[in-house]
Amino acid sequence: MNINVYVDNIKKWVQISSDEVLDRNKNLSDLKDKNVEEKYRDKIGYDADFYIVDKLISKEALESGFLPDIFTPENIVTDSNHQFVTDAEKNKWNNKLNKPIANQDHLEENQIGYDELNEKFYIGLNNKNVLIGGASALDNIKVVNGFFSGNSQATVIRNTKQNQNGEFVRPIFVDVQCTEYTGGDLGEISITYTAEAINVYNTGSFTGSFQCMIVYPLGSANR
């Protein structure tokens, strides 16, 4: 139905409403012909492809919070700043560097693990668990005081370093330094070591004191 009013100052009837007029606040929901004829294309000025839809929703319906079933994830356009997030992605973000997990034999790439037994942190890199820190940067080093036995006899230092399985850990480096004056009686120093013990020898008659520095593999358990 068309509605006209007479405007006296211009002496004309003016149409103020028509079946052909669309309400801009209704978001095209008042279109009677959803197939969109040429007259609607011209009036609204959009590409015709925009109108090939089954349902249109009014502004009032949107403001009410009601969302019809056509508003599904498949119908929502996303961009670099507006995207959906999966549970898997959220779990991955929640387990980043600021949230280490209990250490595992094979950590995921870039995942941080914490070993309570040796108080060490590891990161998964290239399918390996790589040590990145812990309670002390020097706790793989042990210093022991002892005395030379002289005359090529062994001074035995029992190993106490064990791994997570309770097995003794073989050192990767051992050094011995004399800590007092030898009077030239020290002779040559030699060292042998296994996972069970370290043997310190000197060929001379000196039986004074020494310090032995023992270096274990990084990540060895402290016991």
Alpha-carbon span 132 to 100, nearest angstrom: 12
Both structure tokens of 128: 């390996």
Helix (H) or strand (E) holding 130: strand 128-134
What are the backbone angles phi and psi of residue 142, rounded to the nearest 5°? -125, 135
The pLDDT assigned to 138 comes to: 66
Provide the β-strand partners of residue 101. Answer: 113
The pLDDT assigned to 37 comes to: 46
Nearest to 170 by CA among 199, 144, 196, 131: 196
Alpha-carbon span 215 to 140, nearest angstrom: 6
Mean pLDDT per block of 10 residues along the chain (223 residues) reads 62 62 60 54 48 51 58 76 87 72 84 81 88 71 94 95 84 94 95 95 97 84 52
The pLDDT assigned to 54 comes to: 44
Counting DSSP H helices and E strands in the chain, the numbers are 3, 12
The pLDDT assigned to 184 comes to: 94
The pLDDT assigned to 67 comes to: 56
Q: With H, G, I as helix, E, B as strand and everything else as coil, classify residue 46.
A: coil
* Residue carrying structure tokens 């279109």: 31
Q: What is the pTM of this model?
A: 0.44
- Whether 186 and 177 have beta carbons less than 8 Å apart is answered as no
Indicate the residue type of 41. Answer: R
Task: Give me the residue spans of the domains in the chain.
Answer: 3-75, 87-134, 141-215
